[in-house]
Amino acid sequence: MEQTLYEKVGGEEAIAKVVDYFYNKLVLKDDTVNTFFLNTDIEKQRRHQTKFISFALGGPKQYSGKSMAKAHEGMNIQPAHFDTIATHLHDALAHYGVAESDIETALTKVASLRDDILYK
């Protein structure tokens, strides 16, 4: 039986490390996107993001947050912002040794949400 991407990456514990790196080393230090998180409970955001990415990578269906459109309502995220976040996710996954082909699979899933996130 073939492993899910979630299992290949190392499960929720490994994804939590990726998410921590994603926020601490990349997103929150990037002035082009960090303003979206100024009024965000970042610990809560990390928990949600870990569950969401776990689900998106084929893990247990545990994400129960708002829809992507609802979660990004009023943010007016532009294509450049979305692309920057996707690049940071790529770099965080690569930092933890995830294979490029697996990163591309993950980013394809993220890209499928683009229309639910942009311009809301």
Q: How far apart are CA 118 and CA 69, in angstroms?
A: 8
Q: How many CB atoms lie within 10 A of CB 53?
A: 25
Confirm or deny that 72 is annotated as ligand binding.
Answer: yes
DSSP-derived letter for residue 2 is P
Residues recorded for the chain? 120
End-to-end CA distance of the chain: 40
Q: Which residues pair with 118 in a beta bridge?
A: 77
* Annotated binding-site residue numbers: 48, 72
* Annotated binding-site residue numbers for heme: 48, 72
